Structure 1
Amino acid sequence: MSEEVVDLEEKFALFSEHWSPKLVARLNDYEVKLVKVKGDFVWHRHEDTDELFLVLDGQLTIQLRDRDVVLGPGQLFVVPRGVEHCPRADGEVKALLLEPQGVVNTGDAGGELTARVETI
């Protein structure tokens, strides 16, 4: 990672796939990732870490077992460690994720939506 200004819109223009986070910066032991999402993800949990979702464009629903959290542009939500959740978006959403280095996007669920994080 360089000591350059990161232009989020320029970075979003570099990819089109959904549910495949892209690494754009590091902050100590944390990774700043951009992701485009659309449709349903998988129910999963991260036993060892919280997960921050910051919506930049669109509307994202974070389904929890006891309620839904709906986020619009400029809103963020932290899913506490160990809490089962399932992100969903009816239209395309652009979001920023902040997670410790090495967090797997599908948590304990695994499966075909598990993404290898690449740097852009």
Structure 2
Amino acid sequence: MKTVNLEEKLGCFSSHWDPHVIADYNENDVMVVRFQGEYPFHRHETTDDFFLVLEGEIEIDIEGEPSRTVRAGELFVVPKGVVHRPRAAKEAKVLLIEPKGEPNSGNSDREPSPKPRI
């Protein structure tokens, strides 16, 4: 058991779309990541997608629906099976929670990130 400083962890890397595991929660990875630009549209068949914006602002594009703006201090959950794409015009810092072993790329053609532990 230990306290995790999110800003300190985010200071360990500067890459975008490259989540880093900072803690374990049941059978889930708790990760921090920097968003800038847009990620490909994708879906996760068996799990929801959890986004908590720590700093900045992101857009979640959802197939067939209006985009959702998620600001610092807000969270958004994309239900399993829903096609979506996160994007950020300017860099945003985000906390993610997802089951261990779940590729962050979902069913897209993008290579999944390795999710190193920091």
TM-score after normalising by structure 2: 0.96
Partner of 1:26: helix, strand, or coil? strand
Which residue of 1 is the match for residue 42 of structure 2?
A: 44
Percent of pairs with identical residues? 43
CA shift, 1:100, in A, is 0.9
Counterparts of 1:117 and 1:14, CA distance in 2: 13
Which residue of 2 is the match for residue 95 of structure 1?
A: 94
Number of residue pairs matched by the alignment: 117
CA shift, 1:110, in A, is 3.1
Tell whether 2:4 aligns with 1:6.
yes
**Structure 1, unpaired ranges of 5+:** none
**Structure 2, unpaired ranges of 5+:** none
Which residue of 1 is the match for residue 33 of structure 2?
A: 35
Tell whether 2:22 aligns with 1:24.
yes
Which residue of 2 is the match for residue 84 of structure 1?
A: 83
TM-score after normalising by structure 1: 0.95
Counterparts of 1:105 and 1:111, CA distance in 2: 9
